[in-house]
Amino acid sequence: MSADTHITAHEYDAGADGHHDSHGDDMPHGSMRDYVIGFVLSVILTAIPFALVMTGALDHTWTAIIVLGSALVQVFVHMIYFLHMKTSNEGGWSFIALLFTLIVIVITLSGSIWVMYHMNANMMTMSPSMSSETMSQQ
Amino acid sequence: MSAELTYEPTAGGEKPVFFDLDEHDHPEGGSTMLGFWMYLMSDCLIFAVLFACYGVLGHGYGGGKGPKELFELPLVAFNTAMLLFSSLTYGIAMLTMEKGSVRQVQFWLVVTGLFGLTFLGVEMYEFSNLIAEGHGPSRSAFLSAFFTLVGTHGFHVTCGLIWLTTLVIQIGTHGLGQANRRRLQCLSMFWHFLDVIWIGVFTIVYLMGVLG
């Protein structure tokens, strides 16, 4: 029995030690190159949507698609080049937390907007004049 | 009695189970980064809810003016640039931190802080203009949602600036020890996180708002 525990204690010790060693380098850090790439990409991905909306160069639908698309890409750029997100950070736990958060965000956003849109569309008692006003707004 | 005492270490010395568990060799602050990440994720949820509110209420103008008439995109573009510059300069501060130069880190932190301060100043100017012209948060559902969402982001930036000032002073007094590096790392995540949220704000609130 004593030999048994001896081994486990030893293994535990080694495990704890390995853990210790990895911690110093665990902090994600980037290089100047990372930050410059991230910065340049962000400038481009910010300039395009602002230019499109301010000049009105494209039609409404395409502008909306490009504006939302650039925002999505820019979020990824920030995550990778500024926050140094890797799926392996903190043994994968930070990535799992991020995934969980994204799922909750998607449910919250789509759920709220979907439900409230239908509430507005179906449950409002309104006079004909009000109804034509909302129709013209949409 | 004394026999028991000498007996214990020989048996226990080989299996120091309690000792090992007690030691629990996690270096101080070893879990701080993950913990802070968890905080940022929960902060994300706050903003998600505020965005959802804005999505639901954003068209309730209450007969007042909408985003097209109220928002000035050049100002927003300027503010976006300020936050982006501050993200870059914070990155440089982190890089100089690895070289271990206190003065340089302080310099880049102060530069970051000035960009952040400019951002806040412009936002205050925008808010006070809106309120002065009668488009305060109580005017319509759209403006309530707008002020809450953008104001919460601005509040975070304010907290970030206070934290940043504290760290500039702390680095000056205590140098770039392990603890201060960890704090700088946390603030780095916080600051970049705020920039990520701002992408959502300028896209959804300002650009999509003006686009109509």
Can you tell me whether residue A101 is helix, strand or coil?
helix
Indicate whether A127 belongs to any domain: no
Reported ipTM: the value is: 0.81
Cβ separation of A2 and B92 shorter than 8 Å?
no
> Quick one: which of B212, B168, B157 has its CA closest to B190?
B157
pTM assigned to the model: 0.80
* Predicted pLDDT of residue A28: 59
Cβ separation of A75 and B196 shorter than 8 Å?
yes
Indicate whether A59 belongs to any domain: yes
Selecting from B88, B181, B211 the residue whose C-beta is nearest the C-beta of A39 gives B88
Can you tell me whether residue B10 is helix, strand or coil?
helix
* Predicted pLDDT of residue A30: 76
Cβ separation of B192 and A78 shorter than 8 Å?
yes
**DSSP character for A90?**
G
Distance of CA B28 to the CA centre of its chain: 23
Cβ-proximal residues to A132 (8 Å cutoff; 6+ apart), any chain: none
Q: The domain containing residue A73 runs over which residues?
A: 2-98
> Quick one: which of A41, A59, A89 has its CA closest to B185?
A89
Using the Cβ of B55 and the Cβ atoms of chain A, whether some distance falls under 8 Å is answered with: yes
* Predicted pLDDT of residue B4: 46
Residue A6: closest CA among chain B residues belongs to which residue? Answer: B15
More confident residue, B13 or B31: B31
Residue B146 has pLDDT above 60, yes or no: yes
A1-10 pLDDT per residue, tens: 344 444 433 3
* Predicted pLDDT of residue A92: 86
Q: What phi and psi, each to the nearest 5 degrees, are found at residue B136?
A: -75, 175
B48-80 pLDDT per residue, tens: 999 999 999 888 888 888 888 889 999 999 999
Cβ separation of A79 and B196 shorter than 8 Å?
yes
* Predicted pLDDT of residue B130: 93
Indicate whether A111 belongs to any domain: no
Cβ separation of B14 and A6 shorter than 8 Å?
yes
Selecting from A49, A83, A109 the residue whose C-beta is nearest the C-beta of B48 gives A109
Percentage above 90 pLDDT, chain A = 38
Chain B residues with CB under 8 Å of A5 CB are: 14-15, 17
Using the Cβ of A29 and the Cβ atoms of chain B, whether some distance falls under 8 Å is answered with: yes
Nearest-10 Cα torsion for A51, A54, A57, A61: 100
> Quick one: which of B127, B152, B124 has its CA closest to B50?
B152
Selecting from A50, A90, A108 the residue whose C-beta is nearest the C-beta of B34 gives A90
Domain ranges of chain B: 40-211
More confident residue, B153 or A33: B153
A75-105 pLDDT per residue, tens: 999 999 998 888 888 788 889 999 999 999 9
Residue B15: closest CA among chain A residues belongs to which residue? Answer: A6
Q: How many CA atoms lie within 13 A of B136 on its CB side?
A: 5
- Our count of domains for chain A comes to 1
Instruction: From residue A62, give the alpha-carbon distance in Å to each of A50, A59, A66, A67, B72.
Output: 14, 6, 6, 8, 22
Q: What CATH architecture applies to the domain B40-211?
A: Up-down Bundle (1.20)
Indicate whether A131 belongs to any domain: no
A11 CB-contact burial (10 Å; exposed 0-12 / middle 13-18 / buried 19+): exposed
Interface test with A, best of B37, B61, B197 (most A CBs within 10 A): B37
